[in-house]
Structure 1
């Protein structure tokens, strides 16, 4: 339960815009795996906080007028916490998002070292309007993008 509290505090910080707290929670070499074929999956593993802020958080802020991760359930096993919930938001073009989400967080030595996200990528692409999915296998053979 201790790790669940830690991950919940990261979600709370994200919701309130407390970026310094989030950066402190991340290991300097955190690996961030976006859901394959989501609009923000560019065929890379984001490594380091700066690449995550620019490649994920910044892109969401560009696309959405309102955005929230609604946490519904947490599961802890060893050094892993899983969050089951929903992405809810409204794009700047007025389209609504209400997609299932699962996040797998790995914590080592009090820091988040890895994030893997799963979601309804078809819904994301329809809402964002990004078209075709990445079917050439680039998502499976990811190159690391370092900050």
Structure 2
């Protein structure tokens, strides 16, 4: 895939809001979701079913809303797309937070094979715990 095709693929995932029909089409079966330690439910997840059930499942009940806002996309010559942006979160208790992130996506054979995330976990933890 070309660099712009890789960015288009990742952009499609964000724009879909991780819609099930999109994730089924563009993620590899062995997809790896690596969330920074300290982030709520941080850890490494294998396959989208594991991500949906064990990452998003316990996370969603804590928020009125939570979304990724990608701001800048970059690519390299090795099948990676880097996205700088922020999460916008509103907790069930009414606290709001904008949390900076960087996402490193790995593209393999025209599909997304992995994510490595780093984010300002402290800001989100404060919103959840205050």
Q: TM-score, normalised by structure 2?
A: 0.90
Q: Which portions of structure 1, spanning 4 or more consecutive aligned residues, are displaced by more than 3 angstroms?
A: none
What do you get for the CA RMSD once the two structures are aligned? 1.5
Q: What does 1:44-123 correspond to in 2, within 5 Å?
A: 44-78=43-77, 79-123=79-123
> Contact conserved, 2:85 with 2:102, CA < 8 A, in 1?
yes
* The 10-residue stretch of structure 1 (90-99 or 59-68) with the greater mean CA deviation from structure 2: 59-68
> May I ask how many residue pairs the two structures share in their alignment?
126
More helix by share: 2
Deviations 1:16-72 (A, max 9, x none): x6221112211111111001211111xx42001111001222233211111221111
Match of 2:16 in 1: 13
Unaligned runs of 5+ residues in structure 2 are none
Structure 1, unaligned runs of 5 or more? 131-147
Give the whole-Å Cα distance in 1 for the aligned partners of 2:16 and 2:38.
27
